[in-house]
Structures are given as C-alpha cells and as structure tokens.
Amino acid sequence: MSSSAPSKLWGGRFSGATDPLMEKFNESIHFDRRMFKADIVGSQAYVKALCKQSILTSDEAATLHQGLDQVRQEWEQDRFEIKSGDEDIHTANERRLGELVGAVAGKLHTGRSRNDQVATDMRLWLRDAARELVTFTRDLVRVTMERAAAEVDIIMPGYTHLQRAQPIRWSHFLLSYAWVWQQDTERLEQLIERFNLLPLGSGALAGNPFCVDRELLASELGFRGVIQNSLVAVSDRDFVSEFLFWASLTMVHVSRFAEDLIIYSSSEFGYVTLADAYSTGSSLMPQKKNPDSLELLRGKAGRVFGQMSGFLMTVKGLPSTYNKDLQEDKEPMFDAYDTLHGSLQILTRVIATLTVYPERTKASLSPDMLATDLAEYLVRKGVPFRETHHISGAAVRMAEERKTTLADLTLTDLQSLHPAFAADVAAVFNYERSIDNRASIGGTSRQAVLAQIDSLKQWLGAE
C-alpha cells in the first residue's frame, strides 16, 4: 500500500500509488476551502445527531465539538496548514481534527458520505452568500429610488429602437431599473427559500444506516425541512443552476443599465457624467474620460452567463446519482457570487455619485416627440384614435416638407388636416404637460412617479 493511501478517506480499497498529476487533477481544496465554516458547522450538527443515536458518548461529542471549534479558529485566523493528501475541505478538516483530538475523530464520519456532506456544505454556503447579495440588491434599489426622488423634476427623451419617442421624467427612467432590481431581489429570496432543504443524513446515496434524526439536523442547521429522497439529496444541483441563472439575469439587467449610461455619458448625448472614482483616462488622448466601470459591468455579464451555460453542459447528461463531474459545480457558483458581490456594489456607487445635466436632457426634446399628444388632442375632441393617428402623421409629414417643426405649424395648417383643431391646440406643445398627462399607475407623471417611489419605500421598509 502506498504511504499516502491511509490518509485518504477512500484509500482502504487501493494498493497502488496515485499518479501525482492525478492527485492534483482530483483535488479541490484550492477552491472549496472557502466552505470551511459550512463544513465545520455541518459536522458539529452531525456530532449531535450521532450522540443522540448513542454512536458517540456525550464526552466524545464534546471533544469533537471543541476540536472542530479549534479547526474553525485556525481557518479564521489564517493558521490552517494544508498538507499533502488534503484533497478537499472535508478531508482537510477531518485530518486536522484527528491531529487535535486523536482517534475519536474517526467516529465523525460514521454513516456520512462526502456526497451528502458536500451537498450540505454547498447549500449552507450559498444560503449565506445569497443572503448577502440580497442586501446588495436592496441597497441598489434604495439608492436608485432615492436618486429618482431627488431629481423628479428632470425631464428627458424616452427611447424606443434607440430613437427619441416620447418625453419622460429622468426619475421614471431610473425607477424602471429599480423595479427590475426589486424583482431580482425577490427572485433570489424565493430561491433561498426553495433550496433551503437538508441533504445530510442521506449517506452516499441510499440513506443513513444509523437512522440519524434528520429533522434534528435540519433544525440545528436552519433548514426548513429535509430532502425526502436520498438519491436526490446527494446529486441535486438544481439550486446551483438556478443561482447561476439568477446571477446571469441580474447581470443582464446591470449590463443593460450600464449600456444606457454609457450612451448617455457620450459627448453626443451629454446627459450624465460619471464620478472620477469610476472612470479612467486614455494612455494616449488626454481629453478622454472613459466609463470603464460601466464597460466592466457590461463585460462581466458575459462571464456570468458563460459560467451558467458551462455548468448546464456539465450536468445535462449525468447518470444518477453522484458523479465526480459534480466537482465542477463549485467554481461557477463561487465565481458568480464574487462577480455579483463586486458588480452590485460598484453599480450602486456609480448611481449614487454620477452627475446628470437637466439642461442637456431637456434640450434633446423636440416637438415631433409630441405627435402622439397631437393625436390624443383630437381624441378628446371625439375623433377616433385610428383616424387621429393618420392625421397627426400627416402633420409630421407637412412639417418635414416645410423644413419646420411640428409646433411651428399654424392653426390654419392643422385645420387643413381636420376641422376639429382649435386655438387650444397650442397647449399640446408643452413637454411637462405631455408628461403629466401620463398619470395612470406606472406612468411618467409626477404623481405616478411619486407613487412608484412610495411603493418602493414600503417594500424596502417591509423587511
């Protein structure tokens, strides 16, 4: 038997040495070490379950619990020494526990497999990580909402097809993303609730032969219940796939907002300027101020999406139950978390510190953007909308042919298109009036925007 074999949790069946390259290829300690806390907490709960079944005496349980506390402290104080043979966080912790408390450490793994252990660790780790991301998405909603409330009187063009369409409030634009990020927050909260079920106590795949109290384990570890099928418990990674999808969709929303601000910060638009803290210059052109923070956010969306698509390709053809391919579940999860962890905070700070130029946004409005208002004017005179739409289009064409604006057409010009036009049509060509006509729930009027802000305040205050 090789000298390294006895240190492996699975080494008893093997007599030959492992290829050193395979050792490196197989190990995951360099990335799954970040689950040290979850692994120790899960082991301490399992100690209680084993003690309840009289597999451990109360003294042995106390010894193991204290030993695991020592292992945790070494990780937290960056004193834990990883040694050859520590293929993963579970092996490393159990090896160190044995060094601290002796042979009783060998009882900890009774009835437990690394299959149900890692599934538990991952759910514990992701639960805490996702809850942290919830705080960041909520902060993003709050800062965006506060900015909208402070700048409610700024008006700007609204766009479809990247063409100026109708006048809106800048705050209405901001809130459109605040609501999207509010939905992202709720999706993540729902995901946490959905995957917060216990795998531990399922063994390698067939269940626990010592009938450990899985409901006790669930209660100790803060799970809302247990996974009812042991095969599912050890092999299910849908929660990772869902998290990666959530991260991808959230980053799509971040990327789209970044794209809007990149456009709005260009010299052609000039609506906003980013704070210097979130911009960079050019190595060649001194005049440049580049929105690198936004471009990085836009780029990182592709990174997260790639992690999701890659992991789905990993799991799509796996037979039941646990297969080593599932070692590829952690790095995408960790990377997506890290990316969102930084991206959400950076975007929040970009929004909080950017400068908006109301005179530039208002100067970009043009009378042709009120063509729909002209049609609506006739609707209020009793003309069917389908007819008014054509009449307004004819007015736009008339203005274009005369190389003037829609607002410069005379009453006589308009009456030549329809007799319902009267002197009060002049009131149509007012951007603020157009905006405040959109007063239904969800509209861009001041009243409707303030109602949106109130709704978001209530949502933020509900927790």
Distances in Å between the Cα of 311 and the Cα atoms of 38, 234, 235 are 22, 17, 14
For residues 453 and 179, give the distance between their C-alpha atoms in angstroms, rounded to a whole number. Answer: 10
Examine residue 321 and say whether the peptide bond preceding it is cis (omega within 30 degrees of 0). yes
Distances in Å between the Cα of 146 and the Cα atoms of 45, 133, 141, 149, 152 are 43, 20, 9, 5, 10
CA 28 to chain centre: 25
For residues 13 and 339, give the distance between their C-alpha atoms in angstroms, rounded to a whole number. Answer: 41
Question: Over the Cα atoms of the chain, what is R_g?
Answer: 31
CA torsion angle 121 124 125 129 (round to 10):
170
List Cβ neighbours of 247 (8 Å cut-off, separation of 6 or more).
304, 307, 308, 336, 337, 339, 340
Q: Which residues are catalytic?
A: 161, 282
8 Å CB contact between 334 and 28? no
- 10 Å CB burial of residue 277 (0-12, 13-18, 19+) is exposed
CA 70 to chain centre: 34
